[in-house]
Amino acid sequence: MRGRTIFGGLVPYGRVWCPGADQCTTLSTDRDLQFTGVRLQAGEYSMWMEPTETVWTLIFNSDAHAFHTRYDPRLDIGKVTLQKQASPSPIERLTFTIEPGPAGPGGAIVMSWETTRVSAPFTVVR
């Protein structure tokens, strides 16, 4: 953060954003994953986000090795509405984690930065 306002400042609301520097953040999976409304087949995808003050959207794109300024919506595989909550304390660095789910195969992709935590629950398709 380095003292900056991240969301609504460095990262403007209402525009597609590439979380990461230079190359896009990628998701690589050797199993099919089911998100709410989106099924991803095993493979690699770039991840983009569209934050607003109230609703955040995670976008999976088939161009897994895209540069952060080259978003092509024609290559979108699907969009997932993220669950948003405030972080209990400020997160200085953009952080992605994959957290296990409470039961069964799956979990959540979680992004945390500044005072925001967004997550996308998923299950592993057998």
Q: What is the pLDDT of residue 14?
A: 96
Phi, psi of 20 (to 5 degrees): 135, 175
pLDDT (tens digit, 9 = 90+) per residue, 64-112? 998 888 999 999 999 999 999 999 899 999 999 999 988 789 999 999 9
pLDDT of 57 > 90? The answer is: yes
What are 1's two structure tokens? 């953060």
Contacts for 82 with CB less than 8 Å, ≥ 6 apart: 49, 55, 56, 57, 58, 118, 119, 120
What are 85's two structure tokens? 């909550």
Domain ranges of the chain: 25-124
- Above pLDDT 70, what percent of the chain? 100
Q: Could you give the 3-state DSSP secondary structure of residue 30?
A: coil
Between 105 and 1, where is the model more confident? 105
Of the candidates 79, 85, 90, which has an alpha carbon nearest to the alpha carbon of residue 115? 90
